[in-house]
Structure 1
Amino acid sequence: MKGTVFYFLVFFGFFFSCSPSENHKTVVEAKDLHSLMQKVTDVTVHDIFSPPVASRVYVYPSIATYEVLALEDSSFRPLAGQLNGLQPIPAPKEANVNFKIAALYANYLTSKMLIFSEEKMEEWLTEWKSDLEKRGMSDDEWEASVNYAKTVHQHIVAWADEDNYKETRTMSKHPLSDKPHHWEPTPPAYMAAIEPHWNKIRPFVLDSANQFIPQPPYEFSMEESSPFYKELMEVYEVVKGVDKEKKEIASFWDCNPYVMNITGHVMFATKKITPGGHWMGITKIASVLDSADLMKSSYAYTKTSIALADGFISCWDEKYRSNLIRPETIINRKIDDDWTPTLQTPPFPEYTSGHSVISTAAANALTDVYGDNFSFVDSTEVKFGLPSREFNSFMEASQEAAISRLYGGIHYRRAIEEGIWQGQKVGDLIRKNIEFKNNNAIAEN
């Protein structure tokens, strides 16, 4: 009789421990986050976001996801109190919240708010919810998780609203100058300079936009013995002699979201991924290759997106301080009016090289997560008609991204070298100042 009672109690306890309303949680996997982040990238391409603005689209949703997941996983530390102005997210009020569903739904809501084509994000949500229902998700679990996600979303949005982005939307355009070394609009669209006030955006880890000021560009001079003239002629000669491999490298890392094409009297745009979108794509590739779970994948996206966001703020601060003329403008004016760069010159000042800054910062972040000597095949640009490229490490990829700007004819070497320095400084600062891993919890386990 005692044995029968014992087994009954064991069964009774097991039955209620597995009650769907209490402990059973629908499984949410890293692939769900990857599909969401890919959708965000697809929408940023469709909506033609500039590189700096796209970095903002990635970072806030990524942080929303991470903060929710970190509440459940004690081996990771929340970023509240570590990032500028971020306060702790509210705790859930309902008992049956699935933190993983809430984390991705908070990401979805925040992403949807930051883009234009909301219907495309809604398409992702419809498919994802249907998939979760097939995995056994109950209506109560969904409702509780969504309610909590909305609370977190509102918290993140309130924080984002204080970053000066809205204020910069109404600020003045970049004024043109008659000084010979200052930036001018470039062909074929002769667009106005984008985001001249991006240095006013609140950084995430940087103390200020000008925390890491690179060495200034070489003094403008058309004297043949001057450093500036020599690096100008280097760009000229490299493009004239660019071979197939260098042209492929330049095209692979072009990442110009709005390339203008002219055929006769017809002008049309080709939409492409941004530099930040390329590195978020690499983050997905690395996470899948590592078989990283949802938490580790969120860690990778979040650290990389913070590096990208602060990298753009730091770089854009220097771009509009030095306001340096692009190679195309001065070469056409002074050396060869038939010369064209390998890549279309993007619409903002030359110094420093944005891809050099953000690629170095992002590569540092990914190295922190997945280690050095992490070999991978970068297929990010395949959907844009370009072949994959293989790399032995994230830093090797970032170095190729940097030098691609010389092969493309859109940057001087000094802008590349100082851009790498700038990106390294941003990456080092994030590594030293932001603790993602909870070492105490890891030691206890």
Structure 2
Amino acid sequence: MLQFRNITALLALVIVFYSCQEKDYSNLIQDGSYQFAAQDQLTEIIIHDIFSPPVASRIYAYPSIAAYEVAVLAGDDYQSLMGQLNGFEKADFDIPEDVYFPLAALAAYYKVGTLLIFSEELMNEHKESFYKSLKINGLPDRVFEASLILGEQVADHVIAYSKTDNYAQSRSFEKYSLTDNPNAWQPTPPMYMEGLEPHWNKIRPFVMERPDQFKSLPPTTFSTEVGSDFYREAEEVFSTVRNLTKEQSDIAYFWDCNPYKVNVKGHVMFAEKKITPGGHWMGIAAIASKTAKQDWRAAAETLAMTSIALFDGFIACWDEKYRSVLIRPETYINKYIDEEWLPVLQTPPFPEYTSGHSVVSNAAAETLTWLLGDGFHFVDSTEVAFGLPIREFESFRLAADEAAISRLYGGIHYMPAIVHGSTKGKKLGEYLVQKVQSRKEKIAVK
């Protein structure tokens, strides 16, 4: 009987011993899937809160930079963006002994991202669900707390940086004033909204020296004379829309990305919320990272660099939009060619030249090509959530070309806005990858 009791006691001690052993949590987060999920949630909130495309690019950028800066601390092969981005001062961080860097990166992402949106509770719910899953899967409390401490340190530094970009001040700048100039942009149906973000060129860029660094050639000289260059550009939009093929129509809708679309049926008006152009390309960046099977640090780099390209792309584009303040095809065609004509897509509420899709798509494409190479095949499923099918591309540059020409198919841009916008975006992307180095060993420009 005594021997049985001794064996029972020994078994109890063994059970207690093994139950006290920590689970191996080192592989809980290996790739970028958790950051992609956080980004997807941020996208949902951007749609929910109806942020404009330029503002959305800012919301993506700062949390992505914060997550990347934590990834830099996890090894010696990546290089901080501090001291490389305009006004981003260097800082030292106290790294706790028990830190789990992938969690610290996500903590930084959540904190910065939550500060930039309205619906904070939606982001907090997502964060808490993620934290709970980590604890269930064996992440010790001491590691959890240490990781949050580092994440918040980095987040606070990035938040302080974000507050110096002139965004808060720009919220009180005067609205755009309409003019009687016949070539000037006018609000378009059905909502006739005022011009959005007329002072976006006052926001500090991340890499450009000034907003007009990649200034485009002026738009074609305005004319209502039949046969003039400008009239022919409008006719091209008019005839393209009237003779649109199914493939061209599919391309137009796939790249619509208009968060302001308002549907009118009789006396009823209702909004249709959509992803922004920047949100589409951040989605592509996540898809590409998954396709390349990047680890969590490389994924953080991909998202950060893409977001920087998009952010500066909107500044460069909006600088030109409110300098040329060019009339939209819908307004011109209805007045001088056919008053019944309608574009395929709803015209967004800001001037025509240059095309925002053309600029930011090419800036993002050049950046992703630098990171992942040309000839990178990917399946773009970003729009599936909005009822559209997938599209496949053999390179980021080909995807950018399609995004750009989609604006002609949609009837909302003349060709020069597409051509010169694409040139601007490519130049910006090339400049970004030359100026900013995210690796200690320089990545060769592809």
> Under a length normalisation based on structure 2, what TM-score does the superposition of the two structures give?
0.92
Cα-Cα RMSD: 1.5
Deviations 1:258-305 (A, max 9, x none): 200011111110000000000011111111111111011111101100
Cα deviation, residue 134, structure 1: 2.7
Identify the residue that residue 35 of structure 2 maps to in structure 1.
33
Pairing partner for 1:230 from 207, 229, 232: 232
Pairing partner for 1:126 from 128, 132, 140: 128
Pairing partner for 1:256 from 258, 276, 279: 258
Identify the residue that residue 99 of structure 2 maps to in structure 1.
97
Cα deviation, residue 35, structure 1: 0.7
Query: Does the aligned pair in 1 maintain the 2:93–2:153 contact within 8 Å?
Result: no
Identify the residue that residue 4 of structure 1 maps to in structure 2.
none
Distance, in Å, in 2 between the alignment partners of 1:286 and 1:220 is: 41
Distance, in Å, in 2 between the alignment partners of 1:34 and 1:24 is: 20
Identify the residue that residue 358 of structure 2 maps to in structure 1.
356
Distance, in Å, in 2 between the alignment partners of 1:158 and 1:431 is: 25
Which structure 2 segments of 5+ residues have no match? 1-20
Distance, in Å, in 2 between the alignment partners of 1:118 and 1:195 is: 23
Identify the residue that residue 142 of structure 2 maps to in structure 1.
140
Is 1:422 the equivalent of 2:412?
no
Deviations 1:82-133 (A, max 9, x none): 0001122431253212222111101000000011111111121122112211
Is 1:218 the equivalent of 2:215?
no
Query: Does the aligned pair in 2 maintain the 1:176–1:184 contact within 8 Å?
Result: yes
Is 1:436 the equivalent of 2:445?
no
Identify the residue that residue 401 of structure 1 maps to in structure 2.
403
Identify the residue that residue 45 of structure 2 maps to in structure 1.
43
Distance, in Å, in 1 between the alignment partners of 2:227 and 2:308 is: 41
- Structure 2 letter corresponding to 1:206: M
- Structure 1 letter corresponding to 2:406: S
Query: Does the aligned pair in 2 maintain the 1:97–1:148 contact within 8 Å?
Result: yes
Q: 1:96 to 1:185 in 2, by over 3 A?
A: same
Q: Which residues of 2 match residues 308-323 of structure 1 at below 5 A?
A: 308-323=310-325
Is 1:388 the equivalent of 2:390?
yes
| 2:54 counterpart SS class | helix
Query: Does the aligned pair in 2 maintain the 1:92–1:148 contact within 8 Å?
Result: yes
- Structure 2 letter corresponding to 1:433: K
Query: Does the aligned pair in 2 maintain the 1:361–1:424 contact within 8 Å?
Result: yes
Distance, in Å, in 2 between the alignment partners of 1:323 and 1:56 is: 23
Identify the residue that residue 9 of structure 2 maps to in structure 1.
none
Pairing partner for 1:113 from 107, 112, 115: 115
Pairing partner for 1:413 from 412, 415, 420: 415
Identify the residue that residue 157 of structure 2 maps to in structure 1.
155
Identify the residue that residue 174 of structure 1 maps to in structure 2.
176
Deviations 1:178-204 (A, max 9, x none): 000000000000000100000000000
Q: Which moved more, 1:160-169 or 1:363-372?
A: 363-372
Query: Does the aligned pair in 1 maintain the 2:326–2:351 contact within 8 Å?
Result: yes
Query: Does the aligned pair in 1 maintain the 2:212–2:316 contact within 8 Å?
Result: yes
Identify the residue that residue 367 of structure 1 maps to in structure 2.
369
Cα deviation, residue 217, structure 1: 0.2
Distance, in Å, in 1 between the alignment partners of 2:22 and 2:315 is: 46
Is 1:329 the equivalent of 2:336?
no
Q: 1:175 to 1:34 in 2, by over 3 A?
A: same
- Structure 2 letter corresponding to 1:39: Q
| 1:254 counterpart SS class | coil
Which structure 1 segments of 5+ residues have no match? 1-18
Query: Does the aligned pair in 2 maintain the 1:60–1:160 contact within 8 Å?
Result: yes
Distance, in Å, in 1 between the alignment partners of 2:328 and 2:86 is: 34
Query: Does the aligned pair in 1 maintain the 2:25–2:138 contact within 8 Å?
Result: no
Distance, in Å, in 2 between the alignment partners of 1:150 and 1:73 is: 19
Identify the residue that residue 187 of structure 1 maps to in structure 2.
189
Query: Does the aligned pair in 2 maintain the 1:249–1:404 contact within 8 Å?
Result: yes
- Structure 1 letter corresponding to 2:245: D
Distance, in Å, in 1 between the alignment partners of 2:77 and 2:156 is: 26
- Structure 1 letter corresponding to 2:161: W
Identify the residue that residue 347 of structure 2 maps to in structure 1.
345
Identify the residue that residue 269 of structure 1 maps to in structure 2.
271
Q: Which moved more, 1:58-67 or 1:31-40?
A: 31-40
Query: Does the aligned pair in 2 maintain the 1:212–1:425 contact within 8 Å?
Result: yes
| 1:92 counterpart SS class | coil
- Structure 1 letter corresponding to 2:308: I
Identify the residue that residue 378 of structure 2 maps to in structure 1.
376
Cα deviation, residue 75, structure 1: 1.0
Distance, in Å, in 1 between the alignment partners of 2:230 and 2:205 is: 32
- Structure 1 letter corresponding to 2:191: A
Query: Does the aligned pair in 2 maintain the 1:26–1:136 contact within 8 Å?
Result: no
Distance, in Å, in 1 between the alignment partners of 2:50 and 2:38 is: 18
Distance, in Å, in 2 between the alignment partners of 1:438 and 1:365 is: 17
Query: Does the aligned pair in 2 maintain the 1:67–1:89 contact within 8 Å?
Result: no
| 1:258 counterpart SS class | coil
Distance, in Å, in 2 between the alignment partners of 1:90 and 1:153 is: 13
Identify the residue that residue 202 of structure 1 maps to in structure 2.
204
Distance, in Å, in 1 between the alignment partners of 2:129 and 2:152 is: 19
| 2:194 counterpart SS class | coil
Query: Does the aligned pair in 2 maintain the 1:90–1:152 contact within 8 Å?
Result: no
Q: Which moved more, 1:284-293 or 1:92-101?
A: 92-101
Query: Does the aligned pair in 2 maintain the 1:239–1:407 contact within 8 Å?
Result: yes
Distance, in Å, in 1 between the alignment partners of 2:425 and 2:310 is: 9
Query: Does the aligned pair in 2 maintain the 1:203–1:313 contact within 8 Å?
Result: yes
